[in-house]
Amino acid sequence: MRKLSFLAAAAAAALLAGCGFGAPAYPEFSETSYRVEGRTTSPDTGATTQTVIYRDGPKMRVEATLPSYGQATIVFDESTNAAYVLNPTGAVPTAPVPTAQPSAPAATAPNQQTAAPAAGAAPAANAPGATVTPAPTPQVLGVAVRIQDADAPQPLETAWAALGADNARSTGRCEVAGENGHEWTPREAPAPGVERTACITDDGIVLRVRENERVLWEATSLQRGEQDVALFGVPPGYQLIDPQAVAEQVGENLQQLDSVTGAAPTPAAPTPQAAPDPRG
């Protein structure tokens, strides 16, 4: 009798879990600041890349090797809502202070006196005997190349946050990089024959992503906590480059050139004729 009661309770628990009662709550995304390091595997080539991701709400920084750029750092600049690839040049900033260097005094004629400058007065810039070192041109420490949002790596949480609790189900607990979470999978397969699962912590950090038997992302270390704001913007001294704006400017220049070279030649001005002599 006890055995039947236990089986009935187990069946009822399974039924309730299947209906969503007693199942783990779906994670809350974009609420945790963290730094996570792990391995990203290309679904096409199987190549593995060491990847470091920083998150602070909507702000994100990715340090990885990209097929189009090689080793790269990508940031989302919150003030401009734009993505940039950072490429340091390795230049060291130098900013010497301009100084006035006196030169040898000009020779004076015998018995000729020169007025002594007032005490503490600096020599005039255009006066003989004084040269001014020009201010140095600021060195560019790197370039920040604007890229389209579609070309920027998306946060791992984006797809699962968009999926929502109604379209996902938990398949059990998981542990990755010493962190506990739950395995989540879409209720409907993203494509025929494709099964995708993710190990996600309760506070919305994706620790592992699997597609069928292949691991596409797996964390190796995780540190929660507030991140430095400077990580997510374009560093001072970087030159901003917008390839699309450059292309548009080049196109405008070409149109202007076409309009000039294709325009009809301006007619030559008539040769002025001498006015008749009023005296006849």
95: CB partners within 8 A, 6+ apart: 136, 138
Q: Which two tokens stand for residue 59?
A: 């702000």
Q: What is the CATH number of domain 29-91+141-238?
A: 2.50.20.10
pLDDT(158) > 80: yes
Q: Quick check: 39 pLDDT over 80?
A: yes
Mean pLDDT for 242-265 is: 61
pLDDT of 97 strictly over 90:
no
DSSP code per residue over 229-249:
GGGGSPPTTEEEE-HHHHHHH
Band (pLDDT 50/70/90 cuts) for residue 59 is confident
41 or 23, higher pLDDT? 41
pLDDT of 28 reads 86
pLDDT for 9: 39
Where does residue 144 rank: exposed (0-12), middle (13-18), buried (19+ CB within 10 A)? buried
Taking the domains of the chain in order of start, what are their residue ranges? Answer: 29-91+141-238
Q: Is this model's pTM higher than 0.75 or not?
A: no
Q: Encode pLDDT of 224-253 as tens digits.
A: 999 999 999 889 999 989 887 766 666 666
Q: How confident is the model at residue 189 (pLDDT cuts 50, 70, 90)?
A: confident
pLDDT digits (tens, 9 = 90+) for 99-129: 334 344 444 444 555 445 555 555 555 555 5
- Provide mean pLDDT across the span 1-28: 51
Q: Are 175 and 181 in contact (CB under 8 A)?
A: yes
What local confidence, expressed as pLDDT, does residue 26 receive? 95
Per-residue model confidence (pLDDT) at position 152? 78
Q: Which residues pair with 53 in a beta bridge?
A: 36, 62
Q: Given a cut of 70, is residue 48 above it in pLDDT? A: yes
- Predicted local confidence at residue 75, as pLDDT: 92
Q: What is the average per-residue pLDDT within 11-21?
A: 40
C-alpha dist (Å) from residue 105 to 120, 126, 129, 130, 176: 18, 14, 6, 9, 77
Cβ atoms within 10 Å of 38's Cβ, excluding its own: 22
Give 205-218 pLDDT, tens digit per residue: 999 999 998 999 99
Most confident of 8-22, 56-70, 178-192: 178-192
Q: Which residue has the higher pLDDT, 72 or 278?
A: 72
Question: For a pLDDT cut of 70, what percent of the chain falls above it?
Answer: 60
**Contact in structure between 211 and 194 (CB atoms under 8 Å):** yes
